Amino acid sequence: MEIRKLNFKKNSVRALGDKTLQQALHYTTERFTSARERAKREFGELDNLREKAREIKRRTIENLDDYLEILEENVCKAGGKVYWAEDAKGAVDTVLDIARKNRVKLVVKSKSMATEEIELNRAIEGEGIDVVETDLGEYIIQLANERPSHIIAPAIHKTKDEIARLFSEKLKIPYYKEPELLVGAIRERLRATFLRADMGVTGVNFAVAETGTIIIVENEGNARFVTTVPRVHVAIMGIEKVIPSFKDAAVFLSILARSATGQKMSSYVSFITGPRRNGEIDGPEQFHLIIMDNGRTRVLGSEETRETLYCIRCGACLNACPVYRKAGGHSYGWVYSGPIGAILTPQLIGMDRALELPFASTLCGACREVCPVKINIPKILIGLRRRAVENGFHKNVKEHLAMRIWRFVVSHTGVYDILTSLLYVLQHPFKSDGKLRSLPLFSQWTRYRDLPVLKIPFRKRWKRLTVNRGPRG
Amino acid sequence: MEIIRKGPYIMESKKAYLFVTCLVDNFFPQVAESAVCVLRRLGIEVEFVEGQTCCGQPAFNSGFWQDARTVAKRFLSVFDREKDGFIVCPSGSCASMVRIFYRELFEEGDKEYGSAVNISKRVYEFSEYIVNVLKETDVGAFYKGRVAYHGSCHLIRELGIREEPIRLIRSVRGIDFVEMKNYDVCCGFGGTFSVKFPELSAAIVEDKIQSIVESGADTLVSTDMGCLMHIGGIISRRNLPIRVMHIAELLASR
Ligand code: SF4
């Protein structure tokens, strides 16, 4: 993994200048948001279930080690194999190991944020093995050599035209203007690929501890192909994906699709318990489950931010977020974007690399309002800001100084009065038309907005109000 | 997050201590004057606690909790002089700082915790106080204009107050209240966000400006001067024919 500092601000300014991207962001987030709202209206239970879902996650995360052990036991009982990966490298090595042992030449993948996180494709290709993403959006960004820009719709930043061109350039598929024709042609290609593949790699939406079943939710049917046709199936999950029982799964399945796309249920929900059994006609010969930490136990260790791990990756917070809607996913610099990215990324890859992210929010709370597991994202953002300041990551000298001065001034009424009176006088030369149109030290404000002028403060007018019993009163 | 919404607290409800907020105090004193006027009209005895400055929110939100704590302690000591009575604040944001975030800033066991809890129960946002405590919606105001309402994030999503300001606005005589699309979506102000990420902040407010213009309103009302300073700053820069107004100013007009 590249150790680079993410540069949110620079990226976001670039994104703001990209008209096509702005349109795409507007269109997609509006569409998802209104679909979710409709689903919420039609299904009155959503809020109750959110509370339930949160409680299940809380209980599970508090007893994570127990549930993971139960999961391991039951996956093994069903004939699968379980591996524990401490970090990205461990997970990648395990996949490569399994691939080598089985003389794999072609890997097909379904959409998975965990494999994005560990940059699995690059590693597989480095081994001389072909790998093909089979979710359309993921396929697009694989060909374009980019990162997903939305958790559930990875290629929303691309236009139809760009996509058609990409496929004709990289795969020699004829350039189709009509999306249906293009998708038809891609599907044909993918079918052939599925039949040749020796290994399928997937993520995991939920892993049911009591039965050792992994659940995969999707809309294109590609994940079902990936998990049934190739000889070997490798599934990769973060430790937080385990849930205790099937009953719990019912709760999550009722809220996941509704929160993500507004669907009642995704088109395909696969329940996979171990490899093909005797007498069954399809399914892989081997089933491997990699359970990955990659920084998650660090999150688990902090009571303040632990609930970050409740996330079920529905993407609703992205659609609701005013900042994401303008900055787009790539501005966040790593695989996870939007509000969940702003809290997860610094915790997984380190505050030093992702310092800007917790600050890149207006704290409007729209994310929390839509989150199916009610993660208190604004609170975690503030907590991470505090961590950044108190642990010395936030080194902006000017801001530290400004805070010190501000604290001193507002703590001493005399100083406060003198300073505000002084500024009241000093602002005169800058006034125009009763406003401040540009002001040194405040240029970041006045670049875009006028600033009101300082008035005689209320605290000095109060006496008069007491005597006269108020103006207009 | 726990939203503390108690039934009318057993307090002397005829008295209200004004927590004007530093922004209103220095930049928009007319808002506080209007609040005084409206409250007096409702028969409330308004008090102003001398020595109040800021609640500490800018530092709290920026991660400077040490500084925030110092300022918050001072706020508590100023308002704790009176042990009883409502503290009324013309800002959903500052009210949520005191009501909700003080309990995070101070932990159980801190010397200030008891005082923080006590004051968090006393503090009310202006429109919330009128509708939920005084049980009034018609304050006898008159205003001629097409008015749209912008719901501030902290008011709606921290304090859980959605309908109260709208009920107050609708009760103003002569008013033409227009529903505005996405009235509850963030305007992009975000406190220090507005100067740390000015490009994004300005891009977000564009959508708000568009909603206001589309609504056909000539007046935009809100409960928070932070939002209105931001939205109004753009309106003023472009000379748009829209007046921004705090809800207290609207309710004071007659
Ligand atoms: S944080 Fe909540 S809303 Fe955002 S992706 Fe995760 S589950 Fe969905």
The verdict on B145 and B109 lying in the same domain is no
For residue A385, pLDDT over 50 is answered with yes
CATH superfamily for A46-148+194-294 is NagB/RpiA/CoA transferase-like (3.40.50.10420)
A390 CA to centre of ligand 1 in angstroms:
27
Q: Where are the domains of chain A?
A: 1-42+309-395, 46-148+194-294, 402-469
The verdict on B164 and B62 lying in the same domain is no
Write out pLDDT tens, residues A166-201: 999 999 999 999 999 999 999 999 999 999 999 999
CA nearest to A113, candidates A144, A154, A156, A157: A154
Write out pLDDT tens, residues B86-106: 999 999 999 999 999 999 999
Which amino acid appears at position A66 of this protein? Answer: D
Which amino acid appears at position A230 of this protein? Answer: P
For residue B239, pLDDT over 80 is answered with yes
Q: Read off the pTM.
A: 0.95
pLDDT at A431: 86
Q: Do B36 and A390 touch (CB under 8 A)?
A: no
User: Cβ contacts of residue A70 below 8 Å, gap of 6+?
Assistant: A209, A210, A244
What CATH number does residue B20 fall under?
Answer: 1.20.1050
Which atom, in ligand 1's list, is nearest to the CA of A151? 5
Mean per-residue pLDDT of chain B: 94
Substitution site in A206, A317, A348 for ligand 1 pocket (most atoms within 8 Å of beta carbon): A317
The nearest CA of chain A is from the CA of B11 a distance in Å of: 23
Which residue does chain B place closest to A441, by CA atoms?
B195
Asked if A217 and A268 count as a contact pair (C-beta separation under 8 A), the reply is: yes
The verdict on B41 and B127 lying in the same domain is yes
The nearest CA of chain B is from the CA of A387 a distance in Å of: 7
Measure CB to CB from residue A362 to each of B32, B189, B233 and give the nearest one: B189
Size of interface A-B (CB pairs under 8 A): 195
In A, which residues are within 8 Å of B37 by CB distance?
Answer: 470-473
- The model's confidence at residue A472, banded by pLDDT at 50, 70 and 90, is very low
pLDDT at A214: 98
CA nearest to A116, candidates A152, A77, A165, A156: A152
Give the span between the Cα atoms of A309 and A395, in whole angstroms. 28
User: Given strand A431-432, what is the order of strands in its sheet?
Assistant: A431-432, A435-436, A451-452
In this structure, the residue with its CA closest to atom 3 of ligand 1 is: A371
pLDDT at B231: 98
> Within an 8 Å CB–CB cutoff, is residue B158 touching chain A?
yes
Q: Which residues line ligand 1 (CB under 6 A)?
A: A 151, 311-317, 340, 370-373, 375
- The whole-angstrom distance between residue A102's C-alpha and the CA centroid of its chain comes to 33
SS3 A133: strand
The verdict on B239 and B178 lying in the same domain is yes
Q: Among A280-284, A379-383, A462-466, B74-78, where is mean pLDDT lowest?
A: A462-466
SS3 B16: strand
Asked if A227 and A284 count as a contact pair (C-beta separation under 8 A), the reply is: yes
CA nearest to B18, candidates B94, B100, B74, B69: B94
In this structure, the residue with its CA closest to atom 2 of ligand 1 is: A371
User: Which residue range is the domain that position B204 belongs to?
Assistant: 139-252
The verdict on B216 and B104 lying in the same domain is no
A313 CA to centre of ligand 1 in angstroms:
5
A377 CA to centre of ligand 1 in angstroms:
9
Whole-number CA gyration radius for chain A: 26
- The model's confidence at residue A442, banded by pLDDT at 50, 70 and 90, is confident
- How far from each other are the two terminal CA atoms of chain A, in whole angstroms? 67
Which amino acid appears at position A328 of this protein? Answer: G
A316 CA to centre of ligand 1 in angstroms:
6
Domain tally, chain B: 2
In A, which residues are within 8 Å of B190 by CB distance?
Answer: 361-364
The verdict on B230 and B185 lying in the same domain is yes
Write out pLDDT tens, residues A31-59: 999 999 999 999 989 999 999 999 999 99
Q: Which two tokens stand for residue B186?
A: 């963030």
In A, which residues are within 8 Å of B193 by CB distance?
Answer: 359-363
Q: How many helices (H) and strands (E) does chain A have?
A: 22, 13
Give the span between the Cα atoms of A150 and A7, in whole angstroms. 18
pLDDT at A273: 97
In this structure, the residue with its CA closest to atom 7 of ligand 1 is: A311
Write out pLDDT tens, residues B155-205: 999 999 999 999 999 999 999 999 999 999 999 999 999 999 999 999 999
Which atom, in ligand 1's list, is nearest to the CA of A318? 4
In B, which residues are within 8 Å of A471 by CB distance?
Answer: 33, 37
Which residue does chain A place closest to B184, by CA atoms?
A366
- The model's confidence at residue A468, banded by pLDDT at 50, 70 and 90, is low
- The model's confidence at residue B12, banded by pLDDT at 50, 70 and 90, is low
Q: Which of B132, B162, B179 is the last residue of a domain?
A: B132
Return the residue in B19, B37, B62 with the most chain A beta carbons within 10 A, the one to mutate for interface testing: B62
The verdict on B195 and B91 lying in the same domain is no
The nearest CA of chain A is from the CA of B251 a distance in Å of: 11
The verdict on B71 and B161 lying in the same domain is no
The residue ranking higher by pLDDT, A431 or A331, is A331
Write out pLDDT tens, residues A301-334: 999 999 999 999 999 999 999 999 999 999 999 9
pLDDT at B6: 45
Q: Which of B132, B147, B163 is the last residue of a domain?
A: B132
For residue A300, pLDDT over 90 is answered with yes
- Averaged pLDDT for residues B124-133: 97
For residue B3, pLDDT over 80 is answered with no
Asked if A118 and A289 count as a contact pair (C-beta separation under 8 A), the reply is: no
Q: What is the CATH number of domain A1-42+309-395?
A: 1.10.1060
For residue A470, pLDDT over 70 is answered with no
Q: Which of B102, B132, B162 is the last residue of a domain?
A: B132
What CATH number does residue B180 fall under?
Answer: 3.40.50.10700
Q: Do A411 and B53 touch (CB under 8 A)?
A: yes
- The model's confidence at residue A467, banded by pLDDT at 50, 70 and 90, is low
Residue with tokens 């976001």: A12
A291 CA to centre of ligand 1 in angstroms:
21
A314 CA to centre of ligand 1 in angstroms:
5
In this structure, the residue with its CA closest to atom 8 of ligand 1 is: A314
A449 CA to centre of ligand 1 in angstroms:
33
Give the span between the Cα atoms of A56 and A241, in whole angstroms. 12
- Averaged pLDDT for residues B43-48: 94
ipTM for the complex? 0.94
- The model's confidence at residue B18, banded by pLDDT at 50, 70 and 90, is very high
Does the fold of domain A46-148+194-294 match that of domain A1-42+309-395? no
The nearest CA of chain A is from the CA of B185 a distance in Å of: 8
The enclosing H or E element of B30 equals helix B29-41
Substitution site in A312, A324, A368, A376 for ligand 1 pocket (most atoms within 8 Å of beta carbon): A312
- The model's confidence at residue B4, banded by pLDDT at 50, 70 and 90, is very low
The enclosing H or E element of B153 equals helix B153-153
